[in-house]
Amino acid sequence: MLIKRRLSNLFLMIGIMLALNSAFAFDADPLPSWNDGAAKKAILNFVAKTKEEGPSYVPPAERIVVFDNDGTLWPEQPMYVQLAFAIDRIKKLAPKHPEWKNTQPFKAVIEGDLEGLKKIGTKGVVELIMTSHAGMSAEDFDKIVKEWIATARHPRFNLPYTRLAYQPMLELLRYLRANSFKTFIVSGGGVEFIRPWAEKTYGIPPEQVVGSSIKLKYEDNNNKPEIIRLSEINFIDDGAGKPVGIQMYIGRRPIAAFGNSDGDVKMLEWTTSGNKQGLGILVHHDDEKREWAYDRQSDIGKLDKGLNEAQKRGWTVVSMKNDWRKVFSFEDKQQDINATGNDGQ
């Protein structure tokens, strides 16, 4: 039996050595959708230094990395996806709520006043969903979100929203996890809207999603207990709320943070002012052709203070136009179609 075990160890060793050898020798680019440039270099260097023996080494357990969601991992134009969800839901529920016809913001939703709704902000969206889905169980809400996300389509790309997760960020999430980073979402959006699809889309499990939340209540419900959604905001995970959310839910300072708007500035500030050299990255929406171009003056995802702070604090600004070889996974196909003039499908 001892011989058997020794034999197995020997084979394991040989296998692992050969595997390592071939991994090093033939290592493919872990970030193929990133063009070679300062941003890609900053990320690769940071990860390498984290693993290197020396002052920048970070033990795997402390390799916490946080990502904003809207505008960082998927598009937030022409409106927050969660707002599109809220609008669809409110329209569906409106017949049962005649009072909404005269109450804002429901009135604007029902009348299709999208310009007015654009300015609603994170808190407004959370409130909209909260008030329209209060009194319902968390489980039922989860089902509603899953059904919606499976069927709704983005107005510009006519694809399910989850297919719009930025390809370079999906590669980055995988690359970081492969290097023992623990990936978290820290979003201003409602946590119960993101959790139902984040695992499938980003590989991020529910327990690694931090977001805005409403208060919840446990009800026995005749031995069929339920968690009921209340009509009261619990926590807004935006701006200075982001580092607070990180402390409350994660309990460790991240060593890398990715955002795209002024709502992420405090999160990046917190991440990059620890004892260890933290990585701060802002995704800059400057690609009108493939996605959208907006920054200092935008209603949605305004990036003004962030661009100033990036310079002062040495954060890396990712140009979607120049740093990303592709934005979406479906792009190559479309480009091929365009290139060959084959639009006859």
Q: Of 107 and 217, which CB lies nearer to its own copies in the complex structure?
A: 217
Place of tokens 């390592």: 20
Query: SS3 for 226?
Result: strand
Interacting span for its own copies (CB under 8 A) from 83-91, 209-217, 300-308, 318-326: 209-217
Could you tell me if 129 and 190 are in contact, meaning their C-beta atoms sit under 8 angstroms apart?
yes
Residues 6 or more apart whose CB falls under 8 angstroms from that of 25 comprise: none
327/316 Cα distance (integer angstroms):
18
181, two tokens: 């980073």
Query: SS3 for 52?
Result: coil
307 binds its own copies (CB under 8 A): no
Q: Considering CB under 8 A, how many residues would be counted as binding its own copies? A: 58
Q: Of 87 and 185, which CB lies nearer to its own copies in the complex structure?
A: 185
Alpha carbon dihedral 159, 147, 177, 32, in 10-degree steps, equals -10
290-316: buried (b, 16+ CB within 10 Å) or exposed (e) per residue? ebbebbeebebbebeebbebbeeeebb
Residues 6 or more apart whose CB falls under 8 angstroms from that of 79 comprise: 114, 117, 118, 300
Q: Of 154 and 195, which CB lies nearer to its own copies in the complex structure?
A: 195
Interacting span for its own copies (CB under 8 A) from 88-96, 143-151, 218-226, 291-299: 218-226
Per-residue string for binding with its own copies, 71-110, x by CB under 8 A?
----------------------------------------
21 binds its own copies (CB under 8 A): yes
Binding residue (CB under 8 A) for its own copies from 77, 131, 208, 212: 208
Interacting span for its own copies (CB under 8 A) from 29-37, 50-58, 112-120, 216-224: 216-224
Question: Where in 242-271 is the site for its own copies (CB under 8 A)?
Answer: 243-244, 247-252, 266, 269-270
Give yes or no for a cis peptide into 254 (omega within 30° of 0). Answer: no
Binding residue (CB under 8 A) for its own copies from 102, 151, 158, 223: 223
328/163 Cα distance (integer angstroms):
8
Alpha carbon dihedral 49, 55, 61, 65, in 10-degree steps, equals -50
> What secondary structure letter does DSSP report for 297?
T
59 binds its own copies (CB under 8 A): no
Interacting span for its own copies (CB under 8 A) from 39-47, 145-153, 205-213, 332-340: 205-213
Per-residue string for binding with its own copies, 118-157, x by CB under 8 A?
--------------------x-------------------
Q: Which residues bind its own copies (CB under 8 A)?
A: 1, 4-5, 7-19, 21-22, 25-26, 61, 64, 138, 182, 184, 191-192, 195, 199, 205-209, 213, 216-218, 220, 223-225, 227, 234, 240-241, 243-244, 247-252, 266, 269-270, 273
